[in-house]
Structure 1
């Protein structure tokens, strides 16, 4: 991961940290480039998660041979760096606490993995900041991004071809490998905050009621997950949408009418997550060769209401108003904040979520499996 690798938004970074025990990345070598750019994933503290992975996972026994990541800025570790987009963070104060520059990437972003067959055997990160389930999401207000369809239908299929070649075109061996990998899907937030609730740029709110829109999103996601299944995926870790109405950016943009958070945005997240959990249960019932688990997004609104009042750790206004202002000075103690910037939580919060996603036995964190148990299946 890059030295400025912004501490990713909410969930994904936590998973990467959680998976430090799940995948032995001891063979990962530090990058030789001092110009590596941060992922458009998010916050400053994501960098610390990287260091934690290095420290804790070097001697860990692999629980899975590979890990494929699909999603948005919660997961993006560099795929947006060369795109014409507002959704990237390759500038200070992102990465401000990175000791000495690039540490190397445990899992290459797709943009760097192309043509490197052996690296792809360990997995690839396809995630792209501002990407959504829908192809149009993020396009008209953020710029270039890699939608989930492209991540799956184009990029992942290209990687499978490279892996097949690396396996000497042994289709059975390739299938066996792909069956053992974990496939992480963290997507959906942008379909609301960078689509439905931006009528200036998108007409989705005029074409759908909120309920109909969330149903349509989950139906589309269902088709995308089935494409992964048809291409060998059998272990799925699918994240819910976090309380998007509690971000500093949402509160600044929409106001709260006396509530701690923007209620309509959180209602959208709840509707989506309810339908997503129904889909997970249906897949587990009908696709007997596969295992799906739902990972709860961080923090119910009631849990973070007091922290929301404190605001972001950095001065926001960068990107489309969601990110840190370039070269601004961050707060002195990120642990006192939930959010690093306008939309992404701090590394400290990520670490808590990571541990829960990996090992908690509470269905409030993961259902029906935590990531460790999913790996062991």
Structure 2
């Protein structure tokens, strides 16, 4: 019988006493943060802080994408999502990642409600670029980054997020019809008005990133990156390092794969994007599970969980990498931030990194219909 991935208990059945020990090292600081309430700040985060350009955030953020609708297509309890956001803040998280396309619109509303008591102590992101109807939130075909549209989109974001500014605004995908200089120009105006503080790009081409940064310094790039997908190591990370740009990996846990929640029998429901990702196809899944077995061995040796090892590996690569694992379950959020307590010696990291590199992942990270929107270069300005 196929494994039921909808079961919360199956999500990380690998959580043994070792995982509890890894997370417990944060217990004292978490308890302290809870007593501080809204007085907590990025500089005092028990998770420590990192910089994305000049923007200071906690070393681990919280992605809220699925708080409107999970991969399994269920709709989570809104009050519980607000509780998770607030508990994350109490636990030291000061970086929350959203987008107008998540929901669409609904996730921004959830995040706005969640952070309302401590808005001035956290950094929030949103993203524009997909063609989302500004009033209804209906997803329409294609992309749109016209300057006039960007400004209107941001007005809607501010209302849904219950705030007067967005700390980090990303272009979600590059619009092949709009020069990146025009996009940067619109962001400059929003920054001058105090409505945006920093900006970034997602899944862009290298030429576009260079042009964007030359026009208006880019604080962060957001791309998929994890042990399961190491593509950004080819040019994205080196270019970010060259230009002094921070990096935010989305899907740092490989859409749940790196937590040990998926095995060779797992099959995915209709509507779950993993069903159409060939890396999770029945013919590829058994071979790719070698990566999970490696994580389990390291988790046992570090008194951690597989997911914590995967997140700690990302953070150990560069001090300007800030993963944003997403979840709709409180125990998973607390487990994820426990990754900040995991440390590798230089020798251990080299050994783990080499072992990960030796495992060849079978299958593509996304369907071709989605991949076509990555590594796109904006047209030249005439």
TM range (shorter): 0.3 to 0.5
Higher strand share: 2
TM-score, structure 2 as length reference: 0.35
TM-score, structure 1 as length reference: 0.36
Higher gyration radius (CA): 2
